[in-house]
Amino acid sequence: MKKLFRTLRSMRFGIVLLILIAACSVAGTVIPQGREAAWYVQNYPSVHGAILALRLNRVFESWYFIALLVLLCLNLSLCSLVRIRAVIRTVRGETERAAAMPDTVLLSPEGTEKLRCFLEDMRCSCEAVGEATVWRKHGFGHYGTFITHLSILLTVIFGALALYTPTVTDQSCMPGESIFMPDGTKIRVLDFRITDETGRLDYQSHVQVTLPDSRQSEVAELKVNHPFSFGPYKLFQQTFGTAGSVTVTNLENGGTDDFLLTEEAYLSADGVTGIHYEMLYPDFIRDPSGNVTLITVTEGSYPHPIYRFDVIAGGVFTPTLAEPGDELELTGLRFRFNSPVEYPGLRIKHVSSLCNALLIASFMLMIAGLTVTFFYEPVLVKTDADGYAVGGPKPERMRIELSEEFREYERTSKEEAT
């Protein structure tokens, strides 16, 4: 049991945990998360089995990643507990131990007075112990490593809260339109594309977020594995789609309506005559005799889109195909089939402001702990009528400073002292 306890609180075990967590995080960054299994089969044909078996498609939700976080919290808690107990024991008897140190440098009466003035100028606190005086500077530096360990622990805890407690919403949005969140935040999608100018898959959106207090983000580029954060929201390029676009014109009054269609729909003015939109196909093949074979699957943008719908007139359903640019007139209505519209599917995460504030506070505490550890080393100087001695965890710096300051007063040999 003691061996297990020593292992759990050892620094080596903590470093191993950090390396494993870092490796999982890299995998979760390189491999797009949360897609359907078929997507990994298509995009990672040689390693999709390992990705799905090891849950690398959902790393941050896997049991082993959560277990690593729990073990790291346990390791940091035990390290902090042991360290603070050791620090308290060290601080309690520090003054008495310093007063008992033998003089390592002997000074003349003039040198002793100069040393006292020097330590006062350095704003050292002092305490009389018998015939000696113990001067202390940066006593809080003892707690630097404890503060650092505590801040890492808090960072892991609050980071886990930020990772696992946000509300997640998946929504599609047409370019030029906006998504309104329950708190009044507006997320506007300015444009979206599936491929770049060279035809390479790109999946890029440009979005802008306006918070309820009227704060507005810059126009941000959103891509797969390149999320965008503003205020309590974090946006991910999650999926995409292609919508059919149909413009309906009333031939009597000239009024028009534009429809973006992502599912079956019935477009009619009187409920009797109209079209029943079925779906948009990405490509087709027309043979020499004029017959059309529809292609249902493609990668990227639709190369030769074609609309499939039924014309409904007099109770008769007539299957019909139309390409972008084609028009159809039915009893006072003109249907124009436009080029399809590509649109993004966004994953929207909302993290509470309190959780973000706590996470920022833990980072600030870590900076403070590291600053105290490396720049505010505790120093003790014991003085008496004959000379001084320097103590503390790392007394070398103070020894050098005092040696330079009192070089002319030092008696460097016991023979001279006697």
pLDDT in tens, 136-145: 888 888 888 8
What confidence tier does 115 reach under pLDDT thresholds 50, 70, 90? confident
Mean pLDDT of 10-34: 89
* Strand ranges of the sheet holding 220-223, from the earlier edge strand across to the other edge: 178-180, 186-195, 201-210, 220-223
Percent of the chain with pLDDT over 90: 43
pLDDT, tens digit, for every residue of 146-164? 899 899 899 999 988 888 8
- pLDDT, position 380: 85
- Radius of gyration over every alpha carbon of the chain, rounded to an integer in angstroms: 36
Query: For residues 205 and 222, is the Cβ–Cβ distance under 8 A?
Result: yes
Whole-prediction pTM: 0.61
| Predicted pLDDT of residue 260 | 94
Q: Which residue has the higher pLDDT, 352 or 218?
A: 218
Buried/exposed code over 367-396 (b: 16+ C-beta within 10 A; e: otherwise): eebeebbeebbbbbbbbbebbbbbbbeebe
- pLDDT surpassing 90 at residue 371: yes
Q: Which pLDDT score, from 0 to 100, does residue 402 have?
A: 67
How much is the pLDDT for 409?
Answer: 43
The pLDDT confidence band at residue 396, using thresholds 50, 70 and 90, is: low
Residue 401 has pLDDT above 80, yes or no: no
Percent of the chain with pLDDT over 70: 94
The pLDDT tens digits of the residues spanning 188-238 come to 999 999 988 887 888 899 999 999 999 999 999 999 888 999 988 999 998
Residue among 72, 68, 69 at smallest CA distance from 149:
72
pLDDT of residue 397: 63
Place 243 in a pLDDT band, splitting at 50, 70 and 90.
very high
Among 269-278, 339-348, 373-382, the minimum mean pLDDT is found in 373-382
- Inform me whether the pLDDT recorded for 9 exceeds 60: yes
What are 241's strand-pairing partners?
343
Q: pLDDT category, 404, cuts 50, 70, 90?
A: low
Q: Answer yes or no: is pLDDT of 179 > 90.
A: yes
Q: What is the mean pLDDT of residues 282-299?
A: 89
Helices (H), 9-143: 11-30, 37-43, 48-53, 63-92, 94-99, 109-121
Can you give the pLDDT at residue 217? 95
Query: Which amino acid, residue 182?
Result: P
Q: Which residue has the tokens 């120093």?
A: 379
User: What confidence tier does 110 reach under pLDDT thresholds 50, 70, 90?
Assistant: confident
Closest CA to 187 of 195, 177, 197, 196: 177
Q: Positive or negative CA dihedral for 100, 105, 110, 113?
A: negative
Q: What integer pLDDT is reported at residue 230 of this predicted model?
A: 93
**CATH entry, 94-138+377-417, from 1.10.287, 1.10.10, 3.30.420, 3.30.310:** 3.30.310
Tell me the pLDDT tens digit for each residue of 58-107: 998 899 999 999 999 998 888 887 778 878 887 888 888 888 888 888 87
Residue 400's pLDDT is 64
More confident residue, 350 or 395: 350
Model confidence at 418: pLDDT above 50: no
Which pLDDT band holds residue 367 (cuts at 50, 70, 90)?
A: very high
Q: Where are the domains of the chain?
A: 2-88, 94-138+377-417, 166-241+344-366, 243-341
Do residues 124 and 137 touch, judged by C-beta distance below 8 A?
A: yes
Among 96-100, 199-203, 347-351, 373-377, the range of highest mean pLDDT: 347-351
Average per-residue pLDDT in the chain? 87
